[in-house]
Amino acid sequence: MAFWKSRQGGGILLIILAALSFASLDTATKHATQLVPVLMLLWFRYAFQAVATFALRFPVQKWQLFATPNPRFQTLRGVLLLVTSVCSFFGLQFLPVGEFTAITMLSPMLATAMAAWMLRNHVSPLRWVLMGLGLLGVLLVVRPGGQVFGWALLFPVLLVTTYASFQVLTSRLSGDENPYTTHFYTGLVGTVLMTPVLLWSWNIAALLAYWHWFVLVGFLGTFAHLMLIRAFNRANAVVLTPYLYLQIAFATLLGWWVFNHVPDALAWAGIAVIAVSGVGNAVLSAREATGQRQ
């Protein structure tokens, strides 16, 4: 019991809560996009994050909330997450939550490959094998004749690329920026970019009828990222990353509970392979980090 009261134990609990929140966000988004304009929902998701982060952090940070030595990188990071959200919001209209989540969990592995190329980080042969295993798992999920094979797979494929780029850039900024400032700018950039688009998708009737879905999606997106920030403030990434793959289990369970969708046998196998390769990749990171400290 004492472990869960420690900083590391608290970080693990927070990362599990973040994984559950992200899975709940995808489930709520899939349902809400059947009821309200997608672009309008996207605007509320980012506006909620910008306003909530300002309200929570400005009393603490004051004008330092706006201080950033990397305004161009902050803007690019916001654009990358917005494109990721666009792919998610549109892709979830056509794909099951569990399989969609499993595919997108390739992002950390792709981020590793991109870091090897862009940041000249060393990647061991075993890590390349694990990434290849993850790709094999995705092929099992999206195989021809499966439940999710079709043109809509373009959305998670693009999402994996943009979110991996987002993660690499986040890693680049982590040593220079306050994480709450970064969180605020991410919401602000998304809000500013989506505001002109909102003029063509505003629907006051949908807002009045389904306002609670707008609020829920905005809250879950903001809360999930805040829990992620607080988790990584408490514990090391190599400890926390394996627990992020619980998002696949949460998403699959919520997909069954809310939409009565159950993956087929080969999709289950693919999901398991993706999860194993992702956790293996995280465990390898932990071993490498321990070896560097010794």
Choose the weakest-confidence range: 37-41, 133-137, 257-261, 272-276: 133-137
The residue with greater pLDDT, 2 or 8, is 8
The tokens for 66 are 């706006």
Complete DSSP assignment for 158-173: HHHHHHHHHHHHHHHH
The model's confidence at residue 30, banded by pLDDT at 50, 70 and 90, is very high
Contacts with 162 (C-beta within 8 Å, 6 or more apart), sequence order: 80, 81, 83, 84, 87
Cα 271 to Cα 263: distance, rounded to the nearest angstrom: 9
Helix axes 179-198, 211-234, angle to 10 degrees: 160
- pLDDT above 70 as % of the chain: 83
State pLDDT tens for residues 240-254: 777 788 888 889 889
Contacts with 81 (C-beta within 8 Å, 6 or more apart), sequence order: 162, 163, 166, 186, 190
Q: Assign 279 to helix, strand or coil.
A: helix
Give me the mean pLDDT over the 204-230 stretch: 93
Angle, CA 177 vertex, CA 105 and CA 81 arms, to 5°: 35
Taking the CB of residue 71, how many other CB atoms lie within 10 A of it? Answer: 10
State pLDDT tens for residues 158-176: 998 898 888 777 776 666 7
Report yes or no: 278 and 135 within 8 Å, Cβ to Cβ: no
The tokens for 99 are 């399989």
Report pLDDT for 120.
Answer: 58
Query: Which of these, 69, 105, 74, lies nearest to 169 by C-alpha position?
Result: 74
Cα 110 to Cα 80: distance, rounded to the nearest angstrom: 15
Instruction: Tell me what the pLDDT averaged over the chain comes to.
Output: 83
The model's confidence at residue 145, banded by pLDDT at 50, 70 and 90, is low
Report pLDDT for 148.
Answer: 61
The model's confidence at residue 294, banded by pLDDT at 50, 70 and 90, is very low
Specify the DSSP class assigned to residue 146. S
Choose the weakest-confidence range: 92-101, 130-139, 140-149, 255-264: 140-149
